[in-house]
Chains A and B, each alone.
Chain A
């Protein structure tokens, strides 16, 4: 089906729902919306999106402009625009903007409309846009990016794991054997950067620990977290080099592409880059689902594509923005396709072709079913606040890199796991108490 038909279906559905959102062509003359979003990792996605946005604008009689910036600038720009009371109509951020909630429109209506139209949403998306303590949808999450394990097939086959490691224990045993025999280390970051923050959480969750419980109480200091931190320190000492303490977000990509890391946790970005450089080397990269630990198999989603509308947006501009967001979801097949399967849909039903694409990659992977492991992604891909929601305190804990710094201290031999976890717990409690006092985090005495 071409995108015009999708657009037509979407508009019909949302018009019939009568959710208070303006129908096509209802906007006053001169209505304009502007979007700010990241320069997508896949340039092809931006090309598609810009053309789609222009086409949508033409069909709806709305002027649409799109600005792309580096993802690190999104939060600071959103903060500045909210403070100034003027700026873009829609801003797309990649991590939960829960701390911006007072400056954002409640998007409960379009979340409800999308649920009505597309059914069940991935839990990782729900938790990155809804704050239960104030019962508000401060955002609309349209997509997320899986964070599977990427492994060197030849190295892991030689180590006795032809399908890559399945558990954290496999990672330690196989990764250590590979490091000892070839000098090629495992690549789980322990640095103050995005990928390290998520990889360390994955291990903690899989060992049964977490920063908070489902009721937003801090539970970091637990036997399970301590066991996970001890494990990570052992993994670093026996299967990795010190480079992981100084990594940037691109370091694990670079290492895998250069054939100098045996296993990393990442989106498909490193693989797609390699595919464009060296197809044979790319064929040697395999993917695993979340590694299992004593308490389960969990991994953080890599990023989330989250739309917010600041409160300074009003009238027809607001109505058009909401319609744009819903129509974009209705066209998510294109979004997933042109992102080279980087963007996964929050609403699986919006991309009925996805399972087929995972069985036969439309972007030429060898073997074609390389991404088949991602068919189960919704069973193991969670969000930063898991098992609670991603609230402002969780975002600040993330921003301060408390978790990777905690594990790095143990791996460097500066503190015992018990001391490092207790120290981190204390700081996390402080952060939670501050946000709780503002009424933006549940749990505690509330």
Chain B
């Protein structure tokens, strides 16, 4: 018996279907990430202003000028420092919370819901809330400390009625890092929870049968198995935070002095508020080689850990 040859149907072609499914994501990346990114590179090599976006090539002039700017170098260092310190805390808290939230306990779903809120809340709205919480004069935290004798005359922490959370060099930096950790930890936790849930139960059962206790199971089985996912969570969190300007824009606008000024904010202040679009673009692009190197290193680390 001869089989009838059916006409080729495009959706039978796996390669075509794969491309079709990828198309929306590719289009999104090309239009909303790729194009602005290329435009920023072009701006960085030109003398564009907010009033004139004609691309006149000026070579490396903007990058050299930015590098010679003392404020930029401080801003760059602050951005790296804030990012690295935050990631340490995010990693610690996300691991602890992921372990807690993968256990069975009453009210787990509600606790998870509450916990995800910082990530789900629009960042500008959340920051306005924190701006109020950390207000230099009317902070509710200060009020509680005042009522409990930690602040005020003969106070344990200070004789002042306020700690000036966003006004002193040390506390302003601690406040910004704290708020970033508060904001970013839920995402890292959710990613790690997914990783923990994907560990085959037979491995954990075997460990239990072999008499492995909680810490040993955690350190020698769970954490090594979720290491690739942990690296991805870290990468997401680092890149998001490195490019963020909303937190400091709302809370401190970079102050006091330049203590909390980060790259995203400085780029905005120079490029949009100051009108020097070319130099604003150059400032923002300084982060790119560093982020690219970090991403390659971390993805390779994740890949190696997965293979092992």
- In chain B, residues 165-202, which have Cβ atoms closer than 8 Å to a Cβ of chain A? 165-169, 172
- In the complex, whether A423 has a CB less than 8 A from a CB of chain B is yes
* B276 and A247 contacting across the interface, CB-CB below 8 Å: no
Task: Knowing A76-B272, A392-B275, say if A241 contacts B164 (CB, 8 Å).
Answer: yes
Tally A residues with Cβ within 8 Å of B.
52
| Complex alpha-carbon distance, A427 and B269, angstroms | 14
* Dominant secondary structure at the A interface: helix
* B49 and A438 contacting across the interface, CB-CB below 8 Å: yes
* A412 and B169 contacting across the interface, CB-CB below 8 Å: yes
Task: Knowing A103-B52, A243-B162, A243-B167, say if A408 contacts B257 (CB, 8 Å).
Answer: yes
| Complex alpha-carbon distance, A408 and B253, angstroms | 14
Give the shortest distance, in Å, between B159 (CB) and chain A (any CB): 11
| Complex alpha-carbon distance, A215 and B198, angstroms | 70
Residue in contact with B137 in the complex, picked from A78, A97, A254, A395, CB distance below 8 Å: A254
Which listed segment binds A: B67-75, B207-215, B225-233, B293-301?
A: B67-75
Q: What are the interface flags for A191-208 relative to B under an 8 Å C-beta threshold, 1 for contact and 0 otherwise? A: 111000000000000000
Task: Knowing A191-B255, A430-B69, say if A83 contacts B53 (CB, 8 Å).
Answer: yes
- In the complex, whether B65 has a CB less than 8 A from a CB of chain A is yes
Give the shortest distance, in Å, between A355 (CB) and chain B (any CB): 36
Chain A residues with CB under 8 A of B272: 75-76, 79
Chain A residues with CB under 8 A of B270: 396, 399-400
* B50 and A75 contacting across the interface, CB-CB below 8 Å: yes
Give the shortest distance, in Å, between B65 (CB) and chain A (any CB): 7
Task: Knowing A82-B50, A102-B52, say if A246 contacts B269 (CB, 8 Å).
Answer: no
- In the complex, whether A349 has a CB less than 8 A from a CB of chain B is no
Interface size class, chain B: 35 or more
Chain B residues with CB under 8 A of A29: none
| Complex alpha-carbon distance, A253 and B273, angstroms | 23
- In the complex, whether A100 has a CB less than 8 A from a CB of chain B is yes
* A246 and B166 contacting across the interface, CB-CB below 8 Å: yes
* B253 and A434 contacting across the interface, CB-CB below 8 Å: no
- In the complex, whether A42 has a CB less than 8 A from a CB of chain B is no
- In the complex, whether A101 has a CB less than 8 A from a CB of chain B is yes
- In the complex, whether B244 has a CB less than 8 A from a CB of chain A is no
- In the complex, whether A414 has a CB less than 8 A from a CB of chain B is yes
* A396 and B276 contacting across the interface, CB-CB below 8 Å: yes
| Complex alpha-carbon distance, A254 and B275, angstroms | 31
| Complex alpha-carbon distance, A75 and B275, angstroms | 9
- In the complex, whether A260 has a CB less than 8 A from a CB of chain B is yes
Taking each of B51, B167, B255, which has the highest tally of chain A beta carbons within 10 Å of its own beta carbon? B51
| Complex alpha-carbon distance, A98 and B51, angstroms | 9
Residue in contact with B256 in the complex, picked from A241, A245, A435, CB distance below 8 Å: A245
- In chain A, residues 392-442, which have Cβ atoms closer than 8 Å to a Cβ of chain B? 392, 395-396, 398-401, 405, 408-409, 412, 414, 423, 426-427, 430-431, 434-435, 437-438
* Dominant secondary structure at the B interface: loop
* A438 and B47 contacting across the interface, CB-CB below 8 Å: yes
- In the complex, whether B254 has a CB less than 8 A from a CB of chain A is yes
- In the complex, whether B136 has a CB less than 8 A from a CB of chain A is yes
Task: Knowing A247-B136, A400-B269, say if A99 contacts B276 (CB, 8 Å).
Answer: yes
Residue in contact with A260 in the complex, picked from B47, B131, B137, CB distance below 8 Å: B137
* A409 and B137 contacting across the interface, CB-CB below 8 Å: no
Chain A residues with CB under 8 A of B137: 243, 251, 254-255, 258, 260
* B164 and A242 contacting across the interface, CB-CB below 8 Å: yes
- In chain A, residues 58-101, which have Cβ atoms closer than 8 Å to a Cβ of chain B? 75-76, 78-79, 82-83, 97-101
| Complex alpha-carbon distance, A398 and B261, angstroms | 15
Give the shortest distance, in Å, between A400 (CB) and chain B (any CB): 6
- In chain B, residues 253-305, which have Cβ atoms closer than 8 Å to a Cβ of chain A? 253-258, 261, 269-270, 272-277, 279
Task: Knowing A400-B274, A434-B276, say if A102 contacts B70 (CB, 8 Å).
Answer: no
Chain A residues with CB under 8 A of B51: 82, 97, 99-104
| Complex alpha-carbon distance, A241 and B142, angstroms | 15
| Complex alpha-carbon distance, A190 and B169, angstroms | 13
Residue in contact with B69 in the complex, picked from A76, A244, A398, A427, CB distance below 8 Å: A427
- In the complex, whether B160 has a CB less than 8 A from a CB of chain A is yes
- In the complex, whether A167 has a CB less than 8 A from a CB of chain B is no
Give the shortest distance, in Å, between A427 (CB) and chain B (any CB): 6
Chain A residues with CB under 8 A of B169: 412
- In the complex, whether B95 has a CB less than 8 A from a CB of chain A is no
| Complex alpha-carbon distance, A254 and B139, angstroms | 13
- In the complex, whether A34 has a CB less than 8 A from a CB of chain B is no
Chain A residues with CB under 8 A of B254: 192, 401
- In the complex, whether B252 has a CB less than 8 A from a CB of chain A is yes
Chain B residues with CB under 8 A of A99: 49-51, 274-276
- In the complex, whether B138 has a CB less than 8 A from a CB of chain A is yes
Closest residue of chain A to B279 (Cβ to Cβ) is: A434
Give the shortest distance, in Å, between B136 (CB) and chain A (any CB): 4
Closest residue of chain A to B266 (Cβ to Cβ) is: A400
Chain A residues with CB under 8 A of B138: 254, 258
Chain A residues with CB under 8 A of B162: 241, 243
- In chain A, residues 362-409, which have Cβ atoms closer than 8 Å to a Cβ of chain B? 392, 395-396, 398-401, 405, 408-409
| Complex alpha-carbon distance, A144 and B192, angstroms | 55
Chain A residues with CB under 8 A of B52: 102-103
- Interface residues, chain B, with chain A CB atoms under 8 Å away: 47, 49-53, 65, 68-71, 131, 136-138, 160, 162, 164-169, 172, 252-258, 261, 269-270, 272-277, 279
4 further contact pairs, Cβ within 8 A, besides A254-B137, A426-B70:
A99-B274, A243-B136, A247-B136, A399-B269
A sample of 17 cross-chain residue pairs with beta-carbon separation below 8 angstroms, ordered by A number, consists of A103-B51, A104-B51, A191-B167, A242-B164, A242-B167, A245-B164, A245-B167, A245-B168, A245-B256, A245-B257, A248-B253, A254-B137, A255-B137, A401-B269, A409-B257, A412-B169, A434-B276
3 tightest Cβ-Cβ pairs between the two chains A and B: A99-B275, A246-B167, A396-B274
